[in-house]
Amino acid sequence: MALGPRLELRQGQSLVMTPQLQQAIKLLQLSNLELAEFVENELERNPLLQRDDSSNAENDDSRDAKSSDKESNLEELSISADAPNEAASSAIDADYESMDPESGPSEAAQAGGSIDWSRAGSGGSASGPEGESAIDRAAAGKTLAEHLSDQLAIAGRDPVDRLIGSALIDLVDEDGYMRADLADVADRLGAELGRVEGVLALLQTFEPTGVMARNVKECLRLQLMERDRFDPAMAALVNNLELLAKHDYKKLQSVCGVDGDDLSEMIAELRALTPKPGLSFGGETTAAIEPDVFVRERPDGGWAVELNSDTLPRVLVDSRYYAEVTKSARKDSDKEFLTECHQNASWLVKSLDQRARTILKVASEIVRQQDAFLAHGVEHLRPLNLKTVADAISMHESTVSRVTSNKYVATPRGLFELKYFFTASIPAAGGGEAFSAEAVRHKIKTLIDSETADAVLSDDRIVEILLDEGVEIARRTVAKYREAMRIPSSVQRRRMLKRAS
């Protein structure tokens, strides 16, 4: 058989990801804050885009209207718990359906075995030099690194020590800890390890007390030394925090050489300290979560789903300006630029509208599926996955996954992320209707919250109680859920309850 070059024509089909489609998919998974930032950047970049200020005025007028007028205005964005919103369903573009699926919501949760510092006070480190409070520092916008650098500048050390100090301050994290290896720092700076340790000891005398510590024990030790309370008994307590986390008070009494009353006082002193002294400073301000969707009960007993208009950017294409500048354009490059801007602006407006309708459609179906939760509480939360919602609204699972990412819904029972309503199913004994994993976790927490010192429930006993209620669950699953909710074991809970009584 002779070998040689030849031309061959083949016909086939393939999916091409256009930049516009990529943008539409990107917009779908953005949170409302990220979307607002994206739109602002587009308004600055594209001269043919303009903000629709008239919509804000109309919204202000609608808020002052009577409730009957409001009902009619929101009728298009409302649903009944018994039927989907077909008006929104028909407006969804099919472009999203061509994307690859994404994985569903994860149920993994990290269990914690450390001390609960949620009630820890600020201790002696609430105020900085000259009585400056944490609130004053936050208002001034001063970061922890800047605060430490100011103190280093007036510490009166030579230039080499100041250079080492600046390098160490650059390594401090937002909690106020210096977790880098000092030997590596000394090697990088070409300095002696002893000198680096000496500068670190100086930095550990700065405000807030406990800053620049290398671990929690050292942080607590610095604060106790400032209060002149770091005696041998307290040192033993700080060195055995793992026993305190396990609530093994008898062993702690033996290790510290104190009785029960003294140990209680020592633990109270320890909890009054600040394990994360750097948190009183700077960093980024956490923005309040604003819901993307509102759910309210209708007079007929159904549920109305409404988009939060305040989180929806409103932009328009300035077609009049486009027509004017197109007439005056002479160069082909100018015409191409204007055409591209007009296409991008038109696509952005369409994508924003499509995003809003898709969110409404998915949220409406979730509310329809979880109406029992809205009416009766978390114990009635049904098992739900992405495929169930996607099949019900004729969309792809990947689209539902993107819609539920970083989106929140305000309900009569609180503010929830849309992914909260997707939970795994726990089989029911006897083949009945399955239970939601979140509902089972709620049952476990309710059982544990009602315990007494004489009747602490083991994981095996919880399994038996749940089985009597029709929930078929393994002991290891109960232990996993308990640890995910940061609930101690039955042995530790018994110690806590006996001590409390």
- Structural domains in the chain plus CATH codes: 19-106+289-421 (no CATH), 123-280 (no CATH), 425-500 (1.10.10.60)
Q: Are 266 and 256 in contact (CB under 8 A)?
A: yes
For residue 306, pLDDT beyond 90: yes
For 12, the 3-state DSSP assignment is coil
**Which pTM was predicted?**
0.58
Residue 460, phi then psi, degrees to nearest 5? -65, -40
Cβ neighbours of residue 412 closer than 8 Å, sequence gap 6 or more: 295, 296, 297, 374
Can you spell out the DSSP letters for 15-81?
----HHHHHHHHHHH--HHHHHHHHHHHHHH-TTEEE-HHHHHHHHHHHTS-HHHHHHHTGGG--BT
Query: How many CB atoms are closer than 10 A to CB 162?
Result: 16
For residue 98, pLDDT beyond 50: no
| pLDDT band (50, 70, 90) for residue 218 | very high
Report the pLDDT value the prediction gives residue 105, as an integer from 0 to 100: 35
Q: What is the pLDDT of residues 361-402, one digit of tens each?
A: 999 999 999 999 888 888 888 888 999 999 999 999 999 999
For residue 454, pLDDT beyond 90: no
Residue 438's Cβ-count burial label (10 Å; 0-12, 13-18, 19+) is: buried
For 231, the 3-state DSSP assignment is coil
Report the pLDDT value the prediction gives residue 19, as an integer from 0 to 100: 74
Report the pLDDT value the prediction gives residue 52, as an integer from 0 to 100: 79
Q: What would the two tokens of residue 150 be?
A: 């100011």
Q: Are 223 and 125 in contact (CB under 8 A)?
A: yes
Q: Which of 175, 205, 200, 174 is nearest to 185 (CA)?
A: 200
Q: Are 274 and 121 in contact (CB under 8 A)?
A: yes
Report the pLDDT value the prediction gives residue 292, as an integer from 0 to 100: 94
Report the pLDDT value the prediction gives residue 219, as an integer from 0 to 100: 92
Give me the mean pLDDT over the 55-64 stretch.
51
Q: What would the two tokens of residue 296 be?
A: 């309210």
For Cα atoms 63, 66, 67, give the angle at the middle one, nearest 5 degrees: 90
Hey, what's the torsion of the CAs at 61, 65, 71, 76, to 10 degrees? -20
Can you spell out the DSSP letters for 156-192?
---HHHHHHHHHHHHT--TTSB--S-HHHHHHHHT--
The secondary structure of 294-347, three-state, reads: EEEECCCCCEEEEECHHHCCCEEECHHHHHHHHHHCCCHHHHHHHHHHHHHHHH
Please tell me the distance from the alpha carbon of residue 205 to that of residue 277, in angstroms, as a whole number.
13
Give me the mean pLDDT over the 189-201 stretch.
89
Report the pLDDT value the prediction gives residue 40, as an integer from 0 to 100: 92
Report the pLDDT value the prediction gives residue 391, as an integer from 0 to 100: 93
For 426, the 3-state DSSP assignment is strand
Of residues 408 and 25, which shows the higher confidence score?
A: 408
DSSP H or E stretch at residue 358: helix 332-369
Residue 32, phi then psi, degrees to nearest 5? -65, -30
Q: Which of 422, 324, 479, 381 is nearest to 104 (CA)?
A: 422
Phi-psi region of 131 (alpha: psi -120 to 50; beta: other; left: phi over 0): left
Q: Which of 257, 206, 261 is nearest to 233 (CA)?
A: 257
Q: What is the pLDDT of residues 114-139, one digit of tens each?
A: 333 333 333 333 334 444 444 454 44
The secondary structure of 109-163, three-state, reads: CCCCCCCCCCCCCCHHHCECHHHCEHHHHHHHCCCHHHHHHHHHHCCCCCHHHHH
| pLDDT band (50, 70, 90) for residue 307 | very high
Q: Are 172 and 211 in contact (CB under 8 A)?
A: yes
Report the pLDDT value the prediction gives residue 363, as an integer from 0 to 100: 94
Query: How many CB atoms are closer than 10 A to CB 395?
Result: 22
Q: Are 379 and 442 in contact (CB under 8 A)?
A: yes
- Please give the share of the chain, as a percent, with pLDDT higher than 70: 79
| pLDDT band (50, 70, 90) for residue 41 | very high
Average pLDDT, rounded, for the chain: 79
Give me the mean pLDDT over the 244-270 stretch.
87
For Cα atoms 319, 58, 314, give the angle at the middle one, nearest 5 degrees: 45
Q: What is the pLDDT of residues 219-244, one digit of tens each?
A: 999 999 998 888 999 999 999 888 88
Can you spell out the DSSP letters for 190-219?
T--HHHHHHHHHHHTTSSSTTTTBSSHHHH
For residue 260, pLDDT beyond 50: yes
Of residues 347 and 78, which shows the higher confidence score?
A: 347
For residue 100, pLDDT beyond 50: no
Please tell me the distance from the alpha carbon of residue 61 to that of residue 435, in angstroms, as a whole number.
45
Residue 422's Cβ-count burial label (10 Å; 0-12, 13-18, 19+) is: buried
Burial 287-310 (b: 16+ CB within 10 A, else e): eeeebbbbbeeeeeebbbbbbbbe
Q: What is the pLDDT of residues 278-303, one digit of tens each?
A: 887 755 555 678 999 999 999 988 99
